[in-house]
């Protein structure tokens, strides 16, 4: 079999983020769970948008952000996700292609509009997300291409895909193709509420398919209904060969057959916006994995990419991550 053309193929919701600042009182008044992602319908997205302050628009989507980050590291990335043939769909398509990610999913005509996420950023830098899935909801209508999956060393799936039933089916289909082609499967648990909605299915899927798992502390504890991070880390060691567990300012813990290794968070001058921090952590880690780098180097790349994204608004890197990594002597 020939060498795969891509380092990583990401599959996820194709979303344009609409980011605005707000205070904690606004989240409370709107009944929004701080730090989480909530799915909302067409009417609610219009209503909430009307209540929000002035915003900026940027391409988003968890796995899509990770693929943009991977490309910024100089990795070969591909993405599958569904937009509509509208202005936001063209924004999403432009941004992911222009950073160098292969993206060929046809835009859908005459259906729901491109997915958008109202991201509310509080003064502490925390982001609270409200997603209208729109055209993303029906991923799986022919978009999952076995050849594209075989063409990447690692298949990367976002847990958010588990919410819409059609996308969930596409998710399983893609993972089966990857396994059949001898490729690795990576999964991000995305959000602890998402984990709570699908705990048993996720556990079963991790045990049967997942080679690399990404989760933050809340998510991994939700997966095992664990009282402590330590108990959850012990549990994942028996269920998955490699897990990268992020703990915010405390850094991350890489759990593998070699035991647990702590990776410090990279210090930042000012936390501006956490949007995309987990996605960019995954980008750095996956780049290192695809290139056969050590777990310590994968962790360092991951922490560096997360720090870059925390220092500005939005979930896509502003600086070229390959140059940043070279300057820090993480990559030569």
Q: Residue numbers of the site for a copy of itself (CB under 8 A)?
A: 18, 49-50, 52-59, 68, 86-88, 91, 94-96, 98-99, 113, 314, 316
Of 47 and 207, nearer to a copy of itself (C-beta) is 47
Of 91 and 181, nearer to a copy of itself (C-beta) is 91
Shortest reach from residue 88's CB to a copy of itself, in Å: 5
Shortest reach from residue 192's CB to a copy of itself, in Å: 29
Shortest reach from residue 303's CB to a copy of itself, in Å: 23
Of 18 and 290, nearer to a copy of itself (C-beta) is 18
Of 34 and 94, nearer to a copy of itself (C-beta) is 94
Shortest reach from residue 13's CB to a copy of itself, in Å: 17
- Three-class SS string for the chain? CCCCCEEEEEECCCEEEEEEECCHHHHHHHCCCCCCEEECCHHHHHHHHHHCCCCEEEECCHHHHHHHHHHHCCCCEEEECCCECCHHHHHHHHHHHHCCCEECCCCECCCCCCEEEEEEECCCCCEEEEEECHHHHHCCCCCCCHHHHHCEEEEEEEHHHHCCHHHHHHHHHHHHHHHHCCCEEEEECCCHHHHHHCHHHHHHHHHHHCCEEEEEHHHHHHHHCCCCHHHHHHHHHHHCCEEEEECHHHCEEEEECCEEEEECCCCCCCCCCCCCHHHHHHHHHHHHHHCCCCHHHHHHHHHHHHHHHHCCCCCCCCCCHHHHHHHCCCCC
Shortest reach from residue 90's CB to a copy of itself, in Å: 8
Shortest reach from residue 272's CB to a copy of itself, in Å: 11
Of 54 and 292, nearer to a copy of itself (C-beta) is 54
Of 14 and 255, nearer to a copy of itself (C-beta) is 14
Of 65 and 289, nearer to a copy of itself (C-beta) is 65
Shortest reach from residue 74's CB to a copy of itself, in Å: 15
């Amino acid at each position: 079999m020939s060498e795969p053309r891509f380092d990583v193929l990401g599959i996820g919701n194709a979303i344009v983020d609409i980011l605005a600042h707000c205070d904690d009182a606004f989240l409370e008044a709107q009944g929004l769970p701080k730090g989480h992602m909530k799915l909302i319908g067409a009417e609610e997205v219009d209503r909430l948008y009307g209540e929000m302050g002035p915003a900026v628009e940027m391409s988003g989507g968890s796995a899509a952000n990770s693929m943009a980050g991977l490309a910024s590291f100089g990795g070969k990335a591909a993405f599958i996700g569904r937009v509509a043939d509208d202005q936001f769909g063209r924004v999403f398509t432009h941004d992911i292609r222009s950073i160098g990610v292969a993206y060929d999913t046809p835009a859908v005509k005459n259906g729901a509009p491109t997915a958008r996420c109202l991201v509310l950023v509080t003064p502490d830098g925390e982001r609270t997300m409200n997603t209208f899935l729109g055209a993303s909801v029906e991923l799986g209508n022919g978009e999952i291409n076995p050849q594209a999956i075989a063409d990447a060393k690692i298949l990367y799936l976002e847990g958010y895909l588990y919410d819409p039933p059609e996308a969930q089916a596409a998710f399983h289909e893609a993972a089966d193709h990857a396994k059949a082609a001898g490729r690795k499967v990576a999964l991000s648990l995305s959000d602890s509420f998402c984990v709570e909605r699908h705990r048993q299915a996720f556990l079963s899927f991790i045990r049967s398919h997942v080679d690399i798992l990404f989760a933050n502390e809340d998510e991994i504890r939700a997966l095992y209904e664990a009282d402590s991070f330590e108990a959850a880390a012990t549990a994942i060691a028996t269920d998955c060969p490699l897990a990268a567990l992020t703990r915010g300012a405390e850094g991350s813990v890489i759990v593998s057959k070699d035991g647990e290794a702590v990776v410090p968070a990279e210090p930042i001058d000012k936390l501006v916006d956490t949007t995309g921090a987990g996605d960019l952590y995954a980008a750095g880690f996956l780049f290192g994995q695809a290139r056969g780098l050590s777990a310590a180097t994968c962790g360092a790349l991951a922490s560096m990419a997360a720090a870059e994204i925390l220092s500005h608004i939005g979930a896509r890197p502003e600086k070229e991550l390959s140059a940043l990594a070279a300057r820090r002597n993480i990559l030569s």
